[in-house]
Structure 1
Amino acid sequence: MKVLINSMMTIVLVMLGWISINSVYAADTNEAKNKPNILFVAFDDLRPLIGAYGEAEPKTPNIDAFAHDAVRFDRAYVNYPLCNPSRAAMLTGIRFDNNHDNFKDNKHPKLIVKQTTWPRILKDNGYWTATRGKLYHGNVPSSEKHTWHVAGEFWPKSRFKDGGPEIQQRIVDIGGREDQIKDYLKKGSGPGALMYASVDGPDDLLNDGKVAKDVVDMIKHRRDKSKPFMIAAGFSRPHMPWVAPKRYFDMYPADAGKIADFPEGAKQQFDAQTYKSKTRNGLWNEGVDDETAQKLIRGYMASTSFADAQMGKIINALKEEGLYEDTIIIVWGDHGYHLTDHGLWRKNTPFNISLRSPLLIKAPGIKPGDVVEQVVQNIDLYPTIMELTGISAPESIVYHGNSLVPLLADSSSSWTNLVHTSSAKGSYGVVTDKYRFTVYADGRKALYNLETDPHEWNNLAQDKAYQPLIKDFEIKMQSVVWNSAK
């Protein structure tokens, strides 16, 4: 309504001759020109256990260097640890639970239309917008095509996804679950394949290399330089299958890769039915032996290093164009990942390691190198981007999250440390600065003290001393809004 009133007042003033239409256009253009550029980098399945977050083994020199110029959020979470709902929530600001009661409605195009996305708001406010790679869950949905000046592809139009004859004939080392390797070799793609493949070829033989090349071209040549830009680069790695050029595997010794620790008896008590799915076979570590598991982790790290290098090319392009210092840069992962933690490989579980994701933000005027320990979430990004750019979203926009700008300015700012979460098979819960609480669909409860039990092996849900806390969490869960702009 506010925007409509302002527009009507402007029209009246032009009609009365008090201002000219050219002056209105010039004012709008100048205001847009003064907006900061934005680079949004999304990684698929990148858990925050990398160099920038204190883990020594993964080699991510570009993310690590960027962290020195940015604010690092150590306790960033997603509301649902799966690509589709996590990305839809990030783009719309709405908390999604993957529609457990109606699975036909959990497709990405149906989620993304729940509310106008923040890229669309930026375009409406004078930004030149472009995307390439995985920002949405797949290609840009038809409802979002108008959001972008360049609505680039997720994958080239081919049935092969980092597979097929051209790539397979260059594989120099391959391993993992035999059934899934066979499927990858047969189909030329395998998005859920627990396998690795070292490929003797250049970076742009694979899709993430092509994404980086296209984004660099956008920054240097294709963008409308009369407007501020918002460019989104989405990297598929380290999503499985872990296919990467050989040079990134060579960054790691043959014995690299640490299998997660577990207490005595954990294998025998493994909850196979809760975590079994069409890709998980219900076995501890999906049935792969420890030697193979270690090689798979090495493949994950090689894929992470490959994706990190592609981000580095984009950052270098900004620096070469003199744009780096004044560009807002957001580096985000769409959820966490197990990598043998609790005998699991993937995501979409209620565990802390699945829900937690990397998040780094650099913005002009923000103190670099700061670390935020507060609990934040993917739905906080929408209001943050609006505040950083000085744009007022339409009054119809509803935020399920909160702007992170106060924490960017002062990491010790007062904050509500609570995130509502959901995951596969209808589990719901909360994460706070100290606890992770979950109620499964069958009524079972789990409560973990993340300070004293960060790996979540000691379930406190049956301890009488914690019943008041559990009751408080359950009350908070009753009032939360999912899947709707309310």
Structure 2
Amino acid sequence: MKTYYILLLLFGASLITYGQDKPNILFIAYDDLRPLIGAYGEPEPHTPNIDLLADQAVRFNRAYVSYPLCLPSRAAMLTGVRFDNKWAPKGQKITFPKMIAMQKTWPGQLRDNGYWTATRGKLYHGKVPGGDKSSWDIAGKYWTSEYHDGGPEIEKRIVEIGGRQDQIDIYHEKGSGPGSLMYASVDCPDNMLNDGKVADDVVSYIKRKRDKSKPFMIACGFARPHMPWVAPKKYFDMYPEDAGKLAYLPKDAKKDMSNEPFGGRKGSEVWNEGVSDETAQKLIRGYMASTTYADAQMGKVIKALKEEGVYDNTIIVVWGDHGYHLTDHGKWRKNTGYNVALRSPLIIKMPHSKTPKVIENLVQNIDIYPTLMALTESEMAEGTQLHGKSLVPLLKGEKVDWEDLVYTCAQESYGLVTDQYRFTITKEGEYLLYDLKKDPYEWNNLAANKKYNKLINEFEGKLKTVVWNKPGNVL
């Protein structure tokens, strides 16, 4: 009997050692968060938790997504495959589950390599697809009620609401209005809204529900600052009434959308979707209040890591699924080929890191998959082929021959970004070329200037080599 207990103790110790040897992972995804935060040098938004993490982490200043829209961006990040959002098997519709089924996701790879895995909130485009539930020990919910931060109980507590009236009406009618250009200040506790519920559940995963004999990978997906910009009143109160500034607009620029290369959503054919500058400023204040609310929920999750004594041995990834216009070029949303829509926040804290580092190399959402595989020394399923590259050499400060070039697509307009230029060929065949160093707001299209013909020909050649919609080797 004594021998049995000794063996049991030794076995338990080996499990604990295994769990300590492998780093944990906390993956935090924000919905529609562009780099309009303090960590990226923007002084107005209050994001103390992201900023504090960035002070101990690697911040990628020029991280891009393959496609600036939630569905294809998240599919690419999870599968390592570059999607152009028009892929589908012959005769079938594009669906998110079919994209995710392209090859084993990195959460599935990590679970196969001994990780305890759990997700809650918006990591996928909605709930965990049935075909990928095997990647999770806990495939947590996306929403927890029929209402998306709306409905009768929330309505009673709204103290301020504004934006486009027709979209406010949709919010009142449906209790959600996920694409509504509006804001609402709600006199409620954090966990009356969805992101507060997400944080509470993720804290419970960290403190109580996980298998402590294994390393964990927990994915925490916040819905804000996606529209509508609904947040508790206390986060609106952190901003003065006149907070929020409209995007840069050249003095000679006309508020004319008739030649705009990226149309899209109904309403975008008019400048700022028809709202006045005064209303636009209030909407941006709502966006910032929603961002601060989501940041506060992340703070609760980080605090739980520290209280459990696992913070130092945890890789923490903070990622936004694309950028956002917020009146840039007279637009509010995403899904354009502009730099402001393609660029996204990416911060990675390595275990035991205490010092900040900024990386200027161009990286993409498809690089996250190979990076996590390398950091955890995980074996990948046979046949896995990735479009991205591991960021580990950059994270470790190693000298590496890094090609600063990323490929992008939006509304069937294909392009690329280099350390200096953004080049795009639109669906109609129009060429767009911007010098991001001299013209960061992209108001001067250089494509018609013969001086750039050689460069354009070079970029066209590179675009012909790109692999989309199927697993492939690194370019």
Question: What are the equivalent positions in structure 2 for 1:43-192 lying under 5 Å apart?
Answer: 43-99=30-86, 105-158=93-146, 160-192=147-179
* 8 Å CA contact retained: 2:323, 2:342: yes
Return the alpha-carbon distance in structure 2 between the equivalents of residues 279 and 139 of structure 1.
26
Report the CA distance between 1:279 and its aligned residue. Answer: 4.3
| 2:323 corresponds to 1:336 | yes
| 2:340 corresponds to 1:350 | no
1:286 to 273, 282, 288: 273
* 8 Å CA contact retained: 2:19, 2:212: no
Report the CA distance between 1:26 and its aligned residue. Answer: 10
1:371 corresponds to which residue?
358
1:476 alignment partner AA:
K
1:8 corresponds to which residue?
none
Residues 1:25 and 1:225: Cα distance change in structure 2 (over 3 Å) = closer
Report the CA distance between 1:260 and its aligned residue. Answer: 0.9
| 2:210 corresponds to 1:226 | no
2:434 alignment partner AA:
Y
1:446 corresponds to which residue?
432
1:194 to 181, 188, 210: 181
* 8 Å CA contact retained: 1:248, 1:305: yes
Return the alpha-carbon distance in structure 2 between the equivalents of residues 449 and 276 of structure 1.
22
Residues 1:411 and 1:237: Cα distance change in structure 2 (over 3 Å) = farther
User: SS of the residue aligned with 1:79?
Assistant: coil
Report the CA distance between 1:270 and its aligned residue. Answer: 2.4
1:317 to 298, 304, 314: 304
Return the alpha-carbon distance in structure 2 between the equivalents of residues 67 and 316 of structure 1.
15
1:39 corresponds to which residue?
26
2:422 corresponds to which residue?
436
Residues 388-397 or 117-126, more deviating:
388-397
Return the alpha-carbon distance in structure 2 between the equivalents of residues 304 and 456 of structure 1.
26
- Residue by residue over 1:250-305, the C-alpha shift from the partner in whole angstroms, topping out at 9 and shown as x without a partner, is 00000000001212343344246644434434110000000000000000000000
Return the alpha-carbon distance in structure 1 between the equivalents of residues 92 and 281 of structure 2.
37
Report the CA distance between 1:105 and its aligned residue. Answer: 3.6
User: SS of the residue aligned with 2:160?
Assistant: strand
User: SS of the residue aligned with 1:69?
Assistant: coil
Residues 1:322 and 1:24: Cα distance change in structure 2 (over 3 Å) = closer
Q: Give the 4+ runs in structure 1 shifted more than 4 A.
A: 23-33, 100-104
Return the alpha-carbon distance in structure 1 between the equivalents of residues 84 and 379 of structure 2.
27
User: SS of the residue aligned with 2:243?
Assistant: coil
Q: Which runs of 5+ in 2 are unaligned?
A: 1-9
| 2:370 corresponds to 1:406 | no
* 8 Å CA contact retained: 2:255, 2:330: no
Return the alpha-carbon distance in structure 1 between the equivalents of residues 193 and 179 of structure 2.
17
Return the alpha-carbon distance in structure 1 between the equivalents of residues 27 and 17 of structure 2.
23
| 2:368 corresponds to 1:381 | yes
Residues 1:414 and 1:280: Cα distance change in structure 2 (over 3 Å) = farther
Q: Identity, % of aligned pairs?
A: 62
2:4 corresponds to which residue?
none
User: SS of the residue aligned with 1:80?
Assistant: coil
1:458 to 444, 448, 454: 444
1:13 corresponds to which residue?
none
* 8 Å CA contact retained: 1:366, 1:408: no
Return the alpha-carbon distance in structure 1 between the equivalents of residues 328 and 97 of structure 2.
32
Return the alpha-carbon distance in structure 2 between the equivalents of residues 104 and 48 of structure 1.
36
- Residue by residue over 1:333-380, the C-alpha shift from the partner in whole angstroms, topping out at 9 and shown as x without a partner, is 000000000000000000000000000001126573000000000000
Return the alpha-carbon distance in structure 2 between the equivalents of residues 279 and 317 of structure 1.
43
Report the CA distance between 1:474 and its aligned residue. Answer: 0.7
| 2:254 corresponds to 1:267 | yes
Report the CA distance between 1:104 and its aligned residue. Answer: 5.3
Return the alpha-carbon distance in structure 1 between the equivalents of residues 35 and 255 of structure 2.
29
Residues 1:105 and 1:404: Cα distance change in structure 2 (over 3 Å) = farther
Q: Which runs of 5+ in 1 are unaligned?
A: 1-22
1:110 alignment partner AA:
K
1:469 to 425, 430, 455: 455
2:134 alignment partner AA:
H
Report the RMSD for the aligned CA atoms in angstroms.
2.0
1:11 corresponds to which residue?
none
* 8 Å CA contact retained: 2:16, 2:212: no
2:7 corresponds to which residue?
none
1:255 corresponds to which residue?
242
Task: Report the TM-score when normalising by structure 1.
Answer: 0.92
User: SS of the residue aligned with 2:74?
Assistant: helix
Return the alpha-carbon distance in structure 2 between the equivalents of residues 272 and 214 of structure 1.
47
2:383 corresponds to which residue?
396
Residues 1:104 and 1:403: Cα distance change in structure 2 (over 3 Å) = same
Number of residue pairs the alignment of both structures matches: 462
* 8 Å CA contact retained: 1:373, 1:411: no
* 8 Å CA contact retained: 1:272, 1:283: no
User: SS of the residue aligned with 2:55?
Assistant: helix
* 8 Å CA contact retained: 2:305, 2:311: yes
Residues 1:271 and 1:188: Cα distance change in structure 2 (over 3 Å) = same
Task: Report the TM-score when normalising by structure 2.
Answer: 0.94
Return the alpha-carbon distance in structure 2 between the equivalents of residues 97 and 196 of structure 1.
31
